[in-house]
Chains A and B, each alone.
Chain A
């Protein structure tokens, strides 16, 4: 999928990847890769500024843990406002994608405008 198109939705993608539970950066990227059927091919480093930005916005919290390998790693968790933001974005996205699908299929939508 196009990188620019992905970047526009990166925050929602990261929030969605964390909806299944706390994870560190590498695990989040793997989760995105697996759940998207390997369709999303962003430079892996792009996820880290998004994680910091979402934490700054209060949508994620983080803590340092020591892995089995002995390395220190940062584990991110969705906060209550992060869960709400994900639900809001999911609703907007579903409305938007239904509208685009209708447009591309050439059908008239009976729902509300996106």
Chain B
């Protein structure tokens, strides 16, 4: 009966396999400990009492759902922060790359050149926002990040929206 209960709980917790593995191990330990304290004249009856006292597996899983959701949201938050930092670093790296090869920086990319500099005012840092907005074209952002737009032909530049 304990195995059947754990199987049902596992089914109810399938929304989070990592959490499910931990909970199942804890619950198995609890049920076996509780069984060890029972009079074992009738094992089946003792298991039934232990499982009944523990409560409905689906109700238990519903309580774990909010814990799992909080965990997922925290991880998502961390991923978003890391991704934002990575994008900023890439933009900054592109500016250094241009400077290293002495390429001309496209006007819309200039605010990135001074982003993060302590000598620049906060309002200057906000000027990066319209620059990001101007780069909303996906294709163009990729080209901006990995190659030099000034080396493109007029036809290529017009296709990508450069003047």
Q: How far is the CB of A64 from chain B (nearest CB, A)?
A: 8
Q: Is the CB of A48 within 8 A of B23?
A: yes
Q: A45-B54, A45-B55, A56-B70 are in contact. Are A73 and B26 (CB under 8 A)?
A: yes
Known: A48-B27, A73-B29. 9 other contacts (CB 8 A): A44-B55, A45-B59, A46-B63, A48-B23, A53-B67, A56-B71, A69-B32, A71-B33, A74-B29
* Interface assignment of A24: CB less than 8 Å from any CB of chain B: yes
Interface size of B by Cβ–Cβ distance < 8 Å?
Answer: 25
Task: Tell me the chain B residues, 48-79 only, with Cβ under 8 Å from chain A.
Answer: 53-57, 59-60, 63-64, 67, 70-71
* Interface assignment of B123: CB less than 8 Å from any CB of chain A: no
* Interface assignment of B25: CB less than 8 Å from any CB of chain A: yes
Q: Is the interface of B mostly helix, strand, loop or mixed?
A: helix
Partner of A26, one of B34, B57, B59, B71: B34
* Interface assignment of A72: CB less than 8 Å from any CB of chain B: yes
* Interface assignment of B7: CB less than 8 Å from any CB of chain A: no
Bound Cα distance A24, B67 (Å)? 19
Bound Cα distance A73, B59 (Å)? 23
Q: Which residue of B lies closest to A57 (CB)?
A: B70
Q: Is the interface of A mostly helix, strand, loop or mixed?
A: helix
Q: Is the CB of B60 within 8 A of A45?
A: yes
Q: Is the CB of B29 within 8 A of A49?
A: no
Q: Is the CB of B53 within 8 A of A67?
A: no
* Interface assignment of A83: CB less than 8 Å from any CB of chain B: no
Q: Is the CB of B29 within 8 A of A71?
A: yes
Q: Which residue of B lies closest to A71 (CB)?
A: B29
Q: Which residue of B lies closest to A24 (CB)?
A: B29
Bound Cα distance A73, B31 (Å)? 12
Q: A49-B60, A49-B67, A53-B67 are in contact. Are A44 and B29 (CB under 8 A)?
A: no
Q: Is the CB of A44 within 8 A of B26?
A: no
* Interface assignment of B30: CB less than 8 Å from any CB of chain A: yes
Q: Which residue of A lies closest to B67 (CB)?
A: A52
Q: Is the CB of A44 within 8 A of B54?
A: yes
Interface CB pairs A-B, < 8 A, 8: A26-B30, A43-B54, A44-B34, A45-B27, A48-B64, A52-B23, A56-B70, A71-B28
Bound Cα distance A63, B5 (Å)? 25
Q: Is the CB of A25 within 8 A of B29?
A: yes
